[in-house]
Structure 1
Amino acid sequence: MFVKINVASFLIALFVVLTEGRNVIERFDEDYEDSIGTKWAVLVAGSKEWYNYRHQANLCHAYQLLKKGGLKDEHIIVFMYDDIANNPENPRPGVIINNPHGHDVYKGVPKDYTGKDCNAQNFYSVILGNKSALTGGSGKVVNSGPNDYIFIYYTDHGAPGLVGMPEDPPVYAIDLNEVLKKKHASRTYKKMVFYLEACDSGSMFADLLDEGLNIYATTSSKPDEDGWATYCYFTGDTSCYGECPPKDFKDNCLGDLFSVSWLENRYIHKRVLNNGTHGSHMMQYGDLHINKDALSIYMGSNSPKHTSSANNNNASNSRHVNQRDVQLLYLISKFQNAPEGSRRKNEAYRKLSEVISEREHVDKSVKHIGQILFGVENGQKVLNIVRQPLVDDWHCLKSFVKIFESHCGSLTSYGKKHIRGFANMCNAGIQRDQMDAAAKQTCGYMSCLSITEKRRFKR
């Protein structure tokens, strides 16, 4: 028996079914995301100036990876000084690349905390979801819930017990770990993964990151080990560091070894170690069982696999650049490329001489302070002691850094390698007034030497 059907009624019914079905699916998707948790990401490039190109390039590449993996912009929070893409020295204005064959990774990157707003206090406030403590910026914070997953990626210069920010103060290890403990106490995440690229980066977590916080951290180097830049070419060198960058990007580095390894889905441990030459040892801290999780939980569906790859042609014996020396090589290249007798040549020479003098000054100053405090024979031995935890009294360490800089000038990203020496002074029981007197004596003496040297040079 056939039943007569009113066509109009049928179409209305079909529309209702399809609409309700779509709503049901959408509600299911929302409920499913709530049950497995939202993915959050905080990306930090802690440097500024053209010669540090690679840090913002690393960050922008990470953003593109997370975005392609399905993370939403409202859940990706970016800290970058943002002085690279439109820098006068950029041969491709508005473009940043992180690989010799890479495409633009700058397009679409959120500008959440830039310039002076890219600072340590805002970084802590973002992690904690504390909008009231922010100073400037977009106002975005990690407003996470108990089922959420958080991924933090930080790329910058480092030193024992700290990583840099474009403006002082830096991010000290003790402060960062206190923030992570507070975040755990708030019960506003399920698991957290932290990737850190910097010299001495292991010192940010070694003997500081407690187990049981559901946090897994991996670093590019041991607590007392330098980091390495790659994809570099500098005028005067016969070959490149890692694979050669495009010709228009000479005299700089496109990336850092640890960062490009995980971003490019290479065999990360082997490539970063580089057979023990021009490489470093990746380290793990915190709840190590988390390293068995699929990275897609934190980085989205396009996350790297971190397994051996057929195109892994940079895994062994490539030359790379010590991160602390990139600025020096950049300035040497600027000097060599400038026309003889030109204003550019003179300016390049002035800047190069200034940086070389700064490096020599900080090295000699710290050495001399050590000799005053511990004697000529023992000074260097005490300053070079490697121990974890780095220091017993972090307030002492911070105050010694301030005392040194007040008398002797900024440590700079190069000079911060001496932070371990200041920590050892604290561990040896040196008091604030002793450090103040030694720094004052040293840098008054060094200033006189500097004036004498300048007069001798002018003759």
Structure 2
Amino acid sequence: MDRRMRFWDVALIVMVCMSVTVTKSNGARPLNNQLQEGTGVKWAFLVAGSRGYGNYRHQADVCHAYQVLKSGGLKDENIIVMMYDDIADSIENPIPGAIINQPDGPDVFQGVPLDYTGLDANINNFYAVLRGYKSGLIGGSGKVLNSKPEDTVFIYIASHGNKGIIGLPDDNLIYADQFLERLKINYKKMVIYIESCNAGSMFEGLLRDDLNIYATTSSNSDENSHAFYCPGGIMPPPPTYTVCLGDLYSISWLEFSDFYDRANKTLHDQYDVVSRSINSIHTYYMSHVMPYGNMTMNEDLLETYLGRAKPARANDNYHFNRTTTHEHSNKRFNTTTRLVSQQDAHLLYLNLKVIYIESCNAGSMFEGLLRDDLNIYATTSSNSDENSHAFYCPGGIMPPPPYYNVCLGDLYSISWLEFSDFYDRANKTLHDQYDVTWFRTLFTGEEYMSHVMPYGNMTMNEDLLETYLGRAKPARANDNYHFNRTTTHEHSNKRFNTTTRLVSQQDAHLLYLNLKLEKAPDDSMDKSKAQIELDDEISHRKHDDQSVYLIWKLLFGEDTPSTMMANLRSVGQPLVDDWDCLRMLKNTYEHHCGVLSHYGLKYMQAFANMCNDGISKKQMIAAASQACHVKNDVP
């Protein structure tokens, strides 16, 4: 009988402050057509595109990426690192000589090859390394991507960015068209991860799907990306830190790579968990992890690019140790979020084939009792020693409408239910659902955390979800749980009025400067200096806002500024058709009005709209000259 027909017609779901899902199967997922690890060399190019202690997170992300690759067996001679290297020994660093990427996490700076640092971390050396042009280097270690046709290449960039651009430490910009043009090097397959605001604009409408290049980005073309492990936010760093320790997309893929067996997980597995985990943070301004390029490559094993390493589950620095009290691990989850503990629930159907239980101490229903040689597979909302948690509660994460005085669901339950709504059950397994539910529950960041637990016959976790829950069209086309992609997201944002706090990359520097000012002793030189830095940053932002706004009005008229920052192109189109025009307008603006701040780079969208509307250099000069009487009227 066809595997897809081997399920009971009825799935019994019982909810009494818990949930149990039941049915039967002996099915198994067909093996993926996965790329086997070949004989080629694994190459990697890791780039932190900023400088300054306030941008701590970018270098921390890159150092962590090095540790992931090193643990996977890549050799230092094949890992090239470009970072300014002004963080570890900064006078502001609470642990001199060390960099951490998680609260109370390990030092990820140890052993990192400092190939291109300081003034050597520049755009000339970036492209020389990328193209394998050793003769084009000026300074640095001399290492380049000397890959051969049988080799794989992994490129990871963490930086500030905006529409069609990514920043480098020397303040030069990587433009999307030039970046992709310079990827014409020797390789068998290439994977690219980019962490920046508007990162999707580096590939959208530009990266063809018939090349052996697969990319994911921290955001689509119209969104900010977000810093993470920030003071005052979800899972804050120790109080001695005034900076964010990482970026949300980056720490998600990095911790996935630490935690899971890369010999058994694919690029798509990682993408699924990372994108779903980021959505589960439920911030008001959400970003979407985006895939681009050759989608057939997403079935390649992670070890093909990141190497093979023993997963960290047995000695996990990034998640809870399973103990009675969790005293050590709970320190990492002192947040401003709020989940509500449950106290009343019990199990109704122990003898059924697939069982999901939502209750406090749910693991005690199976631990030491459920044999692994039966056709029974179970997952629970908590282990034997923990509460489970209600969700969508008044005063908590994603509260219900104000006229409700109850919690609308339970965390484990809404996680597996929304997964079942969102994904194609004909292509997802019980294990896929468990992975995402486990990770989502962990990343909610509650002080008293519970662990989703599996029990019973683990071979059944490769059964397709449709075997038990039936087949349904996934909700991706009409998604109630995530943002619709629009310019403003006005409708969808109403669902994300939360008490959690993520920090956009644009605002992470302001957070740092404010905390620096707060922590400086009153009436000290440090206090005065911090106040000047903060005032200068705010002044520069105001100058960028006012100047670009005035230029737009001069070019298009008084009634048009509402369209200045709108993405007026269809999904799948590149930011601009004439990239030389984009560079020209940006350079013309800076010649007359001063260099754009990192914040001001958001106006690349306005410059792109000018190009697409046919604005010439002569018109831009005239408008910029009138708008900016004094070029250096900014700090």
Does residue 172 of the first structure (1) align with residue 163 of the second (2)? no
CA distance in 1, matches of 2:630, 2:133: 46
After superposition, the Cα gap between the structure-2 partners of 1:270 and 1:58, relative to the gap in structure 1 and judged at 3 Å, is same
Q: Name the aligned partner's letter for residue 176 of structure 2.
A: A
After superposition, the Cα gap between the structure-2 partners of 1:285 and 1:70, relative to the gap in structure 1 and judged at 3 Å, is same
Q: Which residue of 2 aligns with 1:162?
A: 165
Percent of matched pairs sharing the same residue? 49
Q: Name the aligned partner's letter for residue 284 of structure 1.
A: P
CA distance in 2, matches of 1:332, 1:92: 21
Deviation of 1:34 after TM superposition, in Å, equals 11
After superposition, the Cα gap between the structure-2 partners of 1:106 and 1:262, relative to the gap in structure 1 and judged at 3 Å, is same
CA distance in 2, matches of 1:49, 1:309: 37
Does residue 330 of the first structure (1) align with residue 519 of the second (2)? no
Does residue 411 of the first structure (1) align with residue 596 of the second (2)? yes
Q: Which residue of 2 aligns with 1:216?
A: 214
1:152-197 superposed Cα distances (whole Å, 9 cap, x missing partner): 11101110000000113210101001012x22xxxx2110000110
1:312-339 superposed Cα distances (whole Å, 9 cap, x missing partner): 5224874210110011111112222223
Instruction: Name the SS of the counterpart of 2:443 in structure 1.
Output: coil
Deviation of 1:370 after TM superposition, in Å, equals 0.2
Comparing both structures, which one devotes a greater share of its residues to helix?
A: 1
1:217-268 superposed Cα distances (whole Å, 9 cap, x missing partner): 00010001001001011xxxxxx3120212222x210000000001111731
Gaps of 5+ in 2: 1-35, 260-272, 313-431, 446-497
Does residue 245 of the first structure (1) align with residue 237 of the second (2)? yes
CA distance in 2, matches of 1:382, 1:232: 31
Q: Which residue of 1 aligns with 2:4?
A: none
Q: Which residue of 1 aligns with 2:324?
A: none
The aligned runs of 1:8-407 (5 Å cut-off) are 36-180=39-183, 182-183=184-185, 188-233=186-231, 240-249=232-241, 251-265=242-256, 267-273=273-279, 274-275=281-282, 277-302=284-309, 307-308=435-436, 310=438, 312=440, 313-315=442-444, 318-387=500-569, 388-407=573-592
Q: Contact between 2:593 and 2:630, CA under 8 Å: does it hold in 1?
A: no
TM-score of the two chains, using structure 2 as the length reference: 0.61
Instruction: Name the SS of the counterpart of 1:244 in structure 2.
Output: coil
Q: Contact between 1:391 and 1:423, CA under 8 Å: does it hold in 2?
A: yes
CA distance in 2, matches of 1:365, 1:46: 26
Q: Which residue of 2 aligns with 1:24?
A: none
CA distance in 2, matches of 1:35, 1:334: 50
Q: Contact between 1:270 and 1:315, CA under 8 Å: does it hold in 2?
A: no
1:39-95 superposed Cα distances (whole Å, 9 cap, x missing partner): 011100000000000000000001011001100000000010000011111111100
Deviation of 1:391 after TM superposition, in Å, equals 1.1
Q: Which residue of 1 aligns with 2:333?
A: none
Deviation of 1:275 after TM superposition, in Å, equals 3.5
CA distance in 1, matches of 2:546, 2:631: 8
Instruction: Name the SS of the counterpart of 2:531 in structure 1.
Output: helix
Q: Contact between 1:193 and 1:217, CA under 8 Å: does it hold in 2?
A: yes
Q: Contact between 2:591 and 2:631, CA under 8 Å: does it hold in 1?
A: no
Q: Which residue of 2 aligns with 1:425?
A: 610
After superposition, the Cα gap between the structure-2 partners of 1:162 and 1:339, relative to the gap in structure 1 and judged at 3 Å, is same
CA distance in 2, matches of 1:446, 1:127: 35
Q: Which residue of 1 aligns with 2:31?
A: none
CA distance in 2, matches of 1:315, 1:222: 23
After superposition, the Cα gap between the structure-2 partners of 1:72 and 1:394, relative to the gap in structure 1 and judged at 3 Å, is same
Deviation of 1:276 after TM superposition, in Å, equals 5.7
Q: Name the aligned partner's letter for residue 58 of structure 1.
A: D
Instruction: Name the SS of the counterpart of 2:81 in structure 1.
Output: strand
After superposition, the Cα gap between the structure-2 partners of 1:195 and 1:315, relative to the gap in structure 1 and judged at 3 Å, is farther
Q: Contact between 2:100 and 2:245, CA under 8 Å: does it hold in 1?
A: yes
Q: Which residue of 1 aligns with 2:5?
A: none
After superposition, the Cα gap between the structure-2 partners of 1:279 and 1:110, relative to the gap in structure 1 and judged at 3 Å, is same
After superposition, the Cα gap between the structure-2 partners of 1:447 and 1:54, relative to the gap in structure 1 and judged at 3 Å, is closer
Q: Contact between 2:200 and 2:220, CA under 8 Å: does it hold in 1?
A: yes
Q: Which residue of 1 aligns with 2:622?
A: 437
Instruction: Name the SS of the counterpart of 1:252 in structure 2.
Output: coil
- How well do the aligned residues superpose, as a CA RMSD in angstroms? 2.2
Deviation of 1:386 after TM superposition, in Å, equals 3.6
CA distance in 1, matches of 2:437, 2:239: 27
Q: Contact between 1:365 and 1:446, CA under 8 Å: does it hold in 2?
A: no
CA distance in 2, matches of 1:124, 1:210: 21
CA distance in 2, matches of 1:193, 1:221: 17
Q: Contact between 2:581 and 2:611, CA under 8 Å: does it hold in 1?
A: yes
How many positions carry a matched residue from both structures? 406
TM-score of the two chains, using structure 1 as the length reference: 0.84
Q: Name the aligned partner's letter for residue 245 of structure 2.
A: L
CA distance in 2, matches of 1:75, 1:341: 51
**In terms of mean alpha carbon deviation, does 53-62 or 379-388 score higher?**
379-388
Deviation of 1:383 after TM superposition, in Å, equals 4.2
Q: Name the aligned partner's letter for residue 287 of structure 1.
A: N
Instruction: Name the SS of the counterpart of 2:201 in structure 1.
Output: helix
Q: Name the aligned partner's letter for residue 352 of structure 1.
A: L
Q: Contact between 1:209 and 1:286, CA under 8 Å: does it hold in 2?
A: yes
CA distance in 2, matches of 1:94, 1:433: 51
After superposition, the Cα gap between the structure-2 partners of 1:278 and 1:100, relative to the gap in structure 1 and judged at 3 Å, is farther
**In terms of mean alpha carbon deviation, does 261-270 or 77-86 score higher?**
261-270
